[in-house]
Amino acid sequence: MQPYDIAILTTGDELLTGEISDSNTRTIAGILSACGYRLRCSLSVPDQEKEIVAALEYLLDHVQFVIVTGGLGPTGDDRTARAAAKALGQPLVINEEALEMVHQWFSRNNRRMDPSNEKQALLPQWAQPLLNPGGTAPGFRLRHADCELFFLPGVPAEMKMMFQQSVLPLLQQKIPEATPLHQRTFKLFGLSEPKVDRMVPYHQLPEGVEVAFSLDYPLVLVKLKASGKDAELQLDQAEAQLLKELGNYLIARNDETPEENVGKLLTSAGLTLSLAESCTGGLLTTLLTSQPGASAFLERAGVTYADSAKTDWLKVPTLLLQQHGAVSENCARAMASGLRHTTGTDLSLAITGIAGPDGGTEEKPVGTVFISLASATGVHVKRYSFSGARSRIQRMSATMALEWLRRFVLQQIEEQTREK
């Protein structure tokens, strides 16, 4: 992949105070990378005219293409257009084409336009407006010496649409020789990053295939990248070698999520599921139902947080809770088996544990979690000791439960295939 002089400039106080993350840079960089372009740099500055001017002046002297996001709205802290005019030495004027775009947006959406929205058509004199199908703020394009500048709104959905429709085609016209990057991402669960690195068969991968790592807790992401006319063939070969070593730990791939993969597997196998969650507070249910079609496999789910919920809904004996406690192998087993008896689903999964930060003991410290799965073959339970903050323990518990379901369904599919 060849490097090009492309830079991103994002504006917004909230980016520098930690209120929101800079998703726009990630989105643009991802699209550019897939098309064979590599960023030279990215900058973030506050909503202050002098800071935006200084950043633009620096980039004008160092790169050929600048993509700016943010600060094109109608409020007083939207100062990007004014800063651009100052940096390029142009007067700020009402752009009639941009003004018509603003009026048309309000007309299409049957909304009354506030006079303040006219500010969004106040652009540097030589700006070329860029249509914003999703919002009121037109983008615009400027040229200064050998540098092309594209200004887009900061709203992520609007920015992405405009970048793909208006900016990327212009970049591809200017730099037609870019070689698209082909990438496959493998999401692994159950191994540390160093362990995964040791298991990657580097010496067996085709020449030209690059390997990169990233983390999406609690997953390790392995990315295979290649470019050129034989990229897909090279990636096919590399994938086969990689999965020989790591296929058992593959919980999802590319844009697929673990919960999406598990949902597809359950649906494909025709298995029904019920859930009882305690320390995860419904996180597992939320993950599974975030995907369309969850009704094909999920019969019911409940947050059985209190002991009373475990006894009333799951029929966990009170004596069992008194003797072993809610966070125990016995309780997890009773939760899963009681739920399956009540629901009649093919699978019933239960989670109980101590997510913290309080509630731990020497015998059962914070992070102690029991997962139980009941099926026609019996009830299986395992104790785990997770670490980290409450949210990390909950996330790890839910992901481990997804892994239980994934492995169980794959085993069932394999057995059915052998029987045929």
CB 403 within 8 A of CB 250: no
CB 279 within 8 A of CB 289: no
Side chain identity at residue 339, one-letter code = L
Side chain identity at residue 320, one-letter code = L
Phi and psi dihedrals of 65, rounded to 5?
Answer: -135, 130
CB 178 within 8 A of CB 65: no
pLDDT at residue 231, rounded to an integer: 95
CA distance 80 to 165: 21
Radius of gyration of the chain from its Cα atoms, rounded to whole angstroms? 27
Q: Which CATH architecture has domain 258-419?
A: Alpha-Beta Complex (3.90)
CB 235 within 8 A of CB 209: yes
- Omega into 46 within 30° of 0, i.e. cis? no
Fold for the domain defined by 6-174: Molybdenum Cofactor Biosythetic Enzyme; Chain A (3.40.980)
Side chain identity at residue 327, one-letter code = V
- CA angle 126-131-134, nearest 5°? 145
CA distance 342 to 354: 26
The segments of the chain whose pLDDT lies below 70 read 1-4
Query: Locate tokens 């807790």: which residue?
Result: 217
pLDDT at residue 2, rounded to an integer: 45
CA distance 256 to 159: 23
The string of pLDDT tens digits covering residues 298-311 is: 999 999 999 999 99
CA distance 185 to 232: 13
CA distance 273 to 264: 13
pLDDT at residue 391, rounded to an integer: 97
Half-sphere exposure of 334 (CA within 13 A, CB side): 23
Q: Are strands 65-69 and 41-45 parallel, antiparallel or unpaired?
A: unpaired
Task: Please choose, from the candidates 173, 143, 148, 134, the residue with its C-alpha nearest in 3D space to the C-alpha of residue 65.
Answer: 148
Burial of 413 (0-12, 13-18, 19+ CB in 10 A): middle
- Cα 107 off chain centre by: 34
Domains 6-174 and 182-253 share a fold: no
CA distance 201 to 154: 42
Task: Please choose, from the candidates 84, 83, 169, 97, the residue with its C-alpha nearest in 3D space to the C-alpha of residue 131.
Answer: 97
CA distance 256 to 264: 11
CB atoms within 10 A of CB 196: 20
CB 292 within 8 A of CB 300: no
pLDDT at residue 219, rounded to an integer: 98
Its pTM stands at 0.83
- CA angle 93-99-102, nearest 5°? 140
Fold for the domain defined by 182-253: Alpha-Beta Plaits (3.30.70)
CB 237 within 8 A of CB 208: no
CA distance 68 to 144: 15
Task: Please choose, from the candidates 133, 106, 130, 109, the residue with its C-alpha nearest in 3D space to the C-alpha of residue 117.
Answer: 106
Spell out the domain ranges in the chain.
6-174, 182-253, 258-419
CB atoms within 10 A of CB 275: 27
CB 396 within 8 A of CB 386: yes
Helices (H) and strands (E) in the chain, counts: 15, 17
Conformational region of residue 385, where left means phi above 0, alpha means psi within -120 to 50, and beta covers everything else: beta
CB 156 within 8 A of CB 23: yes
pLDDT at residue 4, rounded to an integer: 66
CA distance 238 to 224: 8
